[in-house]
Structure 1
Amino acid sequence: YIDAKEQDGRLTFIVEDSGSGFTKEALLHGTEQFFMDDTSRNGEAHYGMGLFLAKTVAEKYGGGIKLSNSENTGGARVEIFFLSSQETS
């Protein structure tokens, strides 16, 4: 599930899946560089950089990122927000 909305001077992108959701540790550390909660994902295909890079870009443009578990699907939920162009100029 992917959604986008603009409200209160913020542009927010929301992504939810129907997987097992974030663990407690991932909710706390998921945006840290090289964090890999799932130890079965290692080596060539996964480096623990995706959420870290998303957070870095969002913060560069005055925004942020929020990790949670979806009430709708039970899976992971990621909200990435940016200040609207009127707010950044």
Structure 2
Amino acid sequence: MVTFTLDYTFAPGSDIIFLDNNSGFRVEIGAELTLNSSHLRGCNKLWKGVEVRVQGSIIAQSSTFEDAITAILLRDRAEILIADN
């Protein structure tokens, strides 16, 4: 599991992000994860997805979530902005 405790942006051009079984992203309290034109996919098995914890946020623009158990799981008071996914 990759945990983001501070704001993080995957640069455009980080086209394909492969995630193995039982892996995923966790956005911690108050942090923001930004995906722009990214393609997240499993390696022949389902990955866990992106968990956004209390008051965290995710921005996903023109991105694809493939082969995830739960693409995005929002916890209490988490925020999401999605467009063209």
* TM superposition score category, shorter chain reference: under 0.3
Select the structure with the greater relative contact order (CA < 8 A; seq sep ≥ 6).
1
Instruction: Give the TM-score normalised by structure 2.
Output: 0.27
The structure carrying a bigger helix percent of its residues is 1
The structure carrying a bigger strand percent of its residues is 2
